[in-house]
A and B are shown apart, each in its own frame.
Chain A
Amino acid sequence: MVKHKFILLSKHQMEGIGWTTKRKLFTIFLKIRLTFFQTCGILYLKVHETFHEDKSSQGKGGMLVTSTVAPRRRVRRKSLARRIADNWQPYVLLLIPVVITIVYKYGPMYGIQIAFRNYNPGLGITQSPWVGWKWFERFFRAPTFERMLWNTVLLSLYGLLWSFPVPIIMSLALNQLRFKKLKRTVQTVIYAPHFISTMVICGMLRIFLSPSGGLINLIAGTKIDFLTEAGAFRTIYIASSIWQEAGWGTIIYLATLSSIDASLYEAAKVDGASVFQRILHIDIPCLLPMIILQLIMSVSGLMSVGFEKAYLLQTDLNRATSDIIAIYVYEQGIVSAKYELGTAVGLFNTAINIVLLLMVNRIAKKYGEVNFV
């Protein structure tokens, strides 16, 4: 498409003025520059597109053409009205998604204000009396506030620390595995748990951890009721998350590793590098940008620790560690129908997440012009 644009452009110019040769040379020069930039830009774009950056619409060579050539001789563009008229069909396609998004995504955002009001369904959102920070204060004064905050932070922080390296190590090992059949089998199997419902996972956990004849107790020869031990909750939660998601997490790393030039390995082999050295000096450096990106993404979601599993694994006896903010939101907001309190607590959680996201975004910018907010 880029090249196409180019030809049009140069033709137009050639017709216009007599300096054809000059233009031709310039075009060739630009083309060469273009391919050069495209090659150089691949890594840069990789980074951008991982974060779903909205660059690709103008990215690649297209951006370069418009930026380098357009100022010299602007191609006559259609007027805005004309372009809208030409594109009425895409707008029609967008109609339903936009309406749904406005109602069910932006509607709730508008509804956040009930966190600051005494919500009265009869009066509606905007007519309900304003009470300021009342509900936030109530949350901060809740007897379990500190416990919930710490449990949320620690659960996700420990979760990140333990689960983050596992897929990386697994993909480094799998990538070096020379028996393709075994590699494929392992890959298929380790993806499996990702497709199982949290409900089923928790059911399995309850079976395995059962004090009377659960698998873990059978192997260890003990009779411990793990789900009533507050000290065991985080371990159970994190270990099962690793079991469920680590395999799935290898996909992105394995894909990155598979794009490594085979000649690098050949050269390393010729130089007598062992597998371990190849991992250390080829795989890890190639994987590092992806690792950093994944880390940044995980940190930004730190407060959105999974509600489902914590809720399903919670028992009255492990509440000391399993009580997290998300459970409080559900219990207060839905079960007890204290809508304002639930909204306020949810907003508090979102606010922390956004602060984390912005902080991480800042660090990411320093690391390599990554920007994903």
Chain B
Amino acid sequence: MSVLSRRKQGELGGFSDRTSDIILIIISVIILLIVAYPLYYILVASFSDPYDVYAGKTFLLPSQATLDGYKAVFAEQNIVRGYGNSILYTVVGTIYSVALIYLVAYPLSVPDLPFKKIISIFFIITMYFGGGLIPTYLIVQKTGIMQTIWAMFLPGGVAVSNAIIARNYFENSIPGALKEAAGIDGASHFRIFFSMIIPLSTPILSVMVVFSMVAYWNDWFTALIYMTNEQAPLPLVLRNILIKSSASASQASMISGGYAELNKMTEMIKFASIIVAAAPMLIIYPFVQKYFEKGLMAGAVKG
């Protein structure tokens, strides 16, 4: 490459490094703002007077800052109960899901397990083909887990794609020699599973835990079809507030100031409940962010 060609490319390239740096920074900041602003706007709105929000006075900072929205949210029985239900489903569901992923992933990573291929296919089929909503619904009915906590996660079966990611991780990132050495020393599969695989796979474990938590925390459709109103998790409770915009009876009885006051309260609850529902997962995920790549790519990159 001579000076000539370098000059030529410089001309073709258009921008110098400095200019393109600036352009890239501008692009990044724009992306940042587009993603973050709607969330920020709701956050600001949750501390503001709803009439000011709808009058466009809260683009950047709260107007008539107040905590009334949050007070109203936590005074609302349905929401508090929904919160409790959500926590219960998330904790139990996550333990269940991750345990199942590990129970499938480890045996499939044992090198000379007979019928491994058949077992893999048995699980993989369920990734591409399923009975559909109604037959699953009927099975749930038939097995008698309707309106029990089991209905929240048993119909989901095993998260096969996650199990495969975990299996690949066991195979590729935990040295085979280590497992063999343990085997030669007389460790049973159970022993290897509990004392070696589980402690050595914390990165993948944390990703699986967070993915499952998010899935259960945000799920509402399962509860909509299988659970009663009293068992509804938070997102389903919010459906009445956010989507149907209806004030509940307990709210109506609480407020004496008539329809306008009730309306105002409903709007305040909307903003605050969005924050309350979204916050837990938004607080948790940055902690495991560095493992996301691993979780999504474990199968793809390891050579």
Residues on A facing B (Cβ under 8 Å): 1, 4, 38, 41-42, 45-46, 49-50, 52, 54, 56-57, 62, 80, 83-84, 87, 89-91, 93-94, 96-98, 100-101, 103-112, 114, 170, 173-174, 176-179, 182-183, 185-193, 195-200, 202-204, 206-208, 210, 212-215, 218, 243, 247, 251-252, 254-256, 259, 270-277, 307-308, 312, 329-330, 333-334, 339, 342-343, 346-347, 349-350, 354, 357, 373
Contact = CB atoms under 8 A, between A and B. Distances in A.
B66 interface: no
Which bucket holds chain B's interface residue count?
35 or more
A111 B20 CA distance: 59
Contacts of A198: 218, 220, 235
A94 B107 contact: yes
A97 B108 CA distance: 12
A365 to B, nearest CB: 16
Interface of B: 1, 5-7, 9-10, 12-17, 20-21, 24-25, 27-28, 31-32, 34-36, 38-39, 41-42, 45, 53-56, 100, 103-104, 106-114, 116-117, 119-124, 126-140, 143, 154-158, 161, 164-165, 167-168, 171-172, 175-177, 180, 188-190, 193, 214, 217-221, 225, 235-236, 238-239, 241-243, 245, 270-271, 273-274, 277-278, 281-282, 285-286, 289, 292-293, 296-297, 299-303
Nearest to B107: A90
Given A83-B114, A176-B24, A187-B289, 16 more contacts: A56-B168, A57-B171, A89-B193, A90-B113, A101-B158, A112-B131, A183-B28, A186-B32, A195-B282, A196-B282, A198-B235, A207-B42, A272-B6, A274-B10, A275-B21, A277-B13
Contact of B128 (A50, A206, A255, A373): A373
Contacts of A272: 1, 5-7, 9-10, 13
Contacts of A185: 32
10 contacts: A1-B177, A52-B165, A57-B111, A89-B193, A173-B28, A199-B277, A274-B9, A277-B9, A277-B12, A334-B133
B13 A218 contact: no
A221 to B, nearest CB: 10
Contact of A339 (B32, B134, B292): B134
Contacts of B281: 195-196
Contacts of A100: 100, 154, 157-158
B289 to A, nearest CB: 6
Given A196-B282, A255-B297, A339-B138, A273 B9 contact: yes
Contacts of A251: 292-293, 296-297
A105 B132 contact: no
A56 B139 CA distance: 35
B286 A101 contact: no
A57 B239 contact: no
A334 B137 contact: yes
Given A4-B177, A199-B236, A90 B106 contact: yes
A25 to B, nearest CB: 26
Given A197-B220, A199-B242, A108 B130 contact: yes
Contacts of A103: 139, 143, 154
Given A100-B100, A179-B25, A213 B55 contact: yes
Given A45-B303, A329-B132, A197 B17 contact: no
Nearest to A39: B303
Given A100-B100, A243-B35, A334-B137, A202 B242 contact: yes
- The winner among A45, A189, A203, A346 for most chain B CB atoms within 10 A is A203
- The winner among B112, B242, B296 for most chain A CB atoms within 10 A is B242
A45 to B, nearest CB: 6
Contacts of B136: 104, 108, 111
